[in-house]
Amino acid sequence: MNKKRKYIKWILYGMLIIYGLFTLFPFLWAVSASFKTYKEITGGGLNLIPKQPTIQAFNKLFMIDPNFLRWVINSFFICTIGTFINVFFNSMAGYALARLNFKGKHFVYYGVLISIMVPGQVLLIPNYLIVKSLGLLNSYNAIIIPAAVNATYIVMMRQFYINFPKDIEEAAAIDGLGRLGTFLRISMPLARPAIATQAVFIFLGFWNEFLKPKLYLSDPSKYTLTVGIQSMMSRYSGITQWDEVMAASLISLLPILVIYTVLNKYFMQGIRMDGEK
Amino acid sequence: MASKRKKYEAAQGIGFLSPAMIVIGIFVMSSIVFALYISFHKVNLFTGYYEFIGLDNYKRIFTDTKTRIAFINILSFVAVVVPVQTILALVMAAVLNANIKGKVGFRTIYFLPTLTSSAALTMIFMFLFSLNGPVNQIALDMNILRESINFLNNPRFALKVIMSMNIWSTVPFFMTVYLAGLQEVPKSIYEASDVDGANSFQKFMHITIPQLKPITTFVLLMGIIGTFQMFDQAYIFSNGSGGPENSTLTVALLIYRNAFGQNNTMGFATAMSIVLSIVVFVVSFIAQKLNKSESLY
């Protein structure tokens, strides 16, 4: 029995390791290519470790490419502002739906639920026309404003505040804090775990978004990193500089990796929350 | 006094909700109505003229050759990707849930593709499958291939490359969803089956899978919704063209091309987006029903 158990365990470990290699394989090649010379990449050969390791690709991106640094900054700008606005608006709406009583509250809540279910494809064209008529084309606002609220996280924040004891807020109110003061000074800080969870996913969503920046931003210096990387494809008369493209792809992964390692706990919470719906 | 307080609370509620309501009201609710309106019109983007044409846009969906190709492409994509990613995610979650050391480490590695943007992922896969790329090199070295295949420009392979990338990148997310579900399965059921002498495979088939049925429904729905709307990967892979030979033309990509191309086909594109939503809804509904009815025996 014991021997059989061990045997099974080895099979399981084997599967895990094989799947791990399978996951890492593309990334290892991307890292490898970004440190190779362009000649070595196109020359073929199966050496994962570059023959003459070089940081030329990174150099070209940051020193020579006129736009690359801009794209990184643009992405950071949109993500930070977008996440900040989202956290506030979602939390306020969730809080109101959980804690405040007024006519039409349930109607609003169902509206929020419905808006989760509407497929993005249907909204794409009307949203474009609305953004255009508001004169927001080719601006960061075109990406931030329509995505300033995320219905999923309104529902999550509502759930959080429903389950959260009222006492502390009431104590603050008795001490003379108004509704907004209570919300900003007491309720928001107490919701830190829920806020961290939504912030992580909203940031990731903005950072990785491709379609909207592609559609709304026409000026290459305004591109986000995702659109920028795509525009690097075959930009030199049909030839793709794989060393640069791979280096750029890895750079786009770095901030997310940092956030993921620091806030891993909240990542898993977010997914669990999704899984329970 | 009481009613004054009530009014005050209502005003606060509306105040707290108004930013969210304005955004959802404009960009979701009124957009749905606007979408329906557009779908019955021929839109001239440059003059801003809307001409009512009734159901013509919808009729055109059934006669347009490109639309047929796009729907066939996306249906085959869904039919391959959704089952494979669901089964793989379930199996890997069960393996990872066994009493194993280094769980966190494995999970962290597996999660990498989920974190990476579709733009970067597609670039990496295009590099892997490029003419002088590692996949061709390995296949040549191992004598699987005689000469390099141009995966990216060969209509037989292009969509399959995207399929494999999509499966590879979505499995970890669904695996994590399954892992969370596995925590909820009562240990006592497994212990009882131990007494009955069930082996690991039997336990997986007769306890794990049925117990996880609600999670499987969720994973299937998420998978169906996600794959049907596949856009980024197809767009980046073909640089927006849907090529080679329309082999990566998905419905979402075709909607994009019709809406923002030069042909004044925005109404047609909107109609297509509404039909796509209905298809997604129907397929999701069927998948949900199928997964439930299975539990009867």
Q: What is the pTM of this model?
A: 0.92
pLDDT score, position B264: 86
Closest by alpha carbon to B240, among B248, B180, A135?
B248
For residue A274, the model assigns a pLDDT of: 52
* Rounded Cα gap, residues B223 and B85, in angstroms: 8
> Which tens digit of pLDDT belongs to each residue from A155-194?
999 999 998 888 888 888 888 888 888 899 889 999 998 9
Q: Give the per-residue pLDDT at A268.
A: 75
Q: How much of chain B exceeds pLDDT 70, in percent?
A: 98
| The two structure tokens encoding residue B166 | 């999509």
CB A42 within 8 A of CB B132: yes
**Would you call B232 and A101 a contact, using CB atoms and an 8 Å cutoff?**
no
The lowest-confidence range among B106-115, B153-162, B163-172, B249-258 is: B106-115
Task: Output the average pLDDT for chain A.
Answer: 90
Burial label, B277 (beta-carbon count in 10 A; 0-12, 13-18, 19+): buried
In 3-state terms, what secondary structure has residue B52?
Answer: strand
Could you say which of A43, A129, A257 has the minimum Cβ distance to residue B115? A257
Q: How confident is the model at residue A277 (pLDDT cuts 50, 70, 90)?
A: very low
Interface of B with A in 90-129 (CB under 8 A): 92, 95-96, 98, 100, 106, 108-113, 115-121, 123-128
Quote the minimal CA–CA distance from A148 to chain B in Å: 7
pLDDT confidence of residue A74? 97
The model's pLDDT over A72-113, given as tens digits with 9 standing for 90+, comes to 999 999 999 999 999 999 999 999 999 998 888 999 999 999
pLDDT (mean) for B272-297: 85
Give residue B101's pLDDT band: very low, low, confident or very high (50, 70, 90): confident
Residue A84 sits at the chain B interface (C-beta within 8 Å)? no
pLDDT at position B296, please?
Answer: 45
What is the arithmetic mean of pLDDT over A15-41?
Answer: 93
- Note the helical H segments in chain B: 2-24, 30-39, 56-63, 65-97, 103-115, 118-128, 134-141, 158-184, 187-195, 200-203, 209-211, 213-228, 232-238, 251-260, 266-293
Taking contacts as CB-CB distances below 8 angstroms, the residues of chain A near B232 are 210-211
Report the alpha-carbon distance of residue A133 to residue A128 in Å, rounded: 9
pLDDT at A237: 61
Per-residue pLDDT at A275 exceeds 60: no
Residue A5 confidence (pLDDT) above 90: no
- In angstroms, the separation between the Cα of residue B53 and the nearest Cα of chain A is 18
pLDDT digits (tens, 9 = 90+) for A192-214: 989 999 999 999 999 999 999 99
Q: How close does chain B come to A213, measured CA to CA in Å?
A: 12
Residue-wise pLDDT tens digits, A213-251: 999 999 999 999 999 999 998 676 667 899 999 999 999
Contact between B39 and B51 under an 8 Å Cβ cutoff? The reply is: no
Q: Is A89's Cβ below 8 Å from some Cβ in B?
A: yes
Q: What is the ipTM of this complex?
A: 0.91
Look at B117 and A252 and tell me if their CB atoms are within 8 Å.
yes
pLDDT at position B245 is 94
Residue B297 pLDDT class (50, 70, 90 cuts): very low
Identify the sign of the CA torsion A46, A48, A51, A55: positive
The answer to whether residue A103 neighbours chain B at the CB level (below 8 Å) is yes
* Pick from B17, B95, B141: CB nearest A12: B95
Radius of gyration of chain B measured on its C-alpha atoms: 24
| Pure H helices in B208-250 | 209-211, 213-228, 232-238
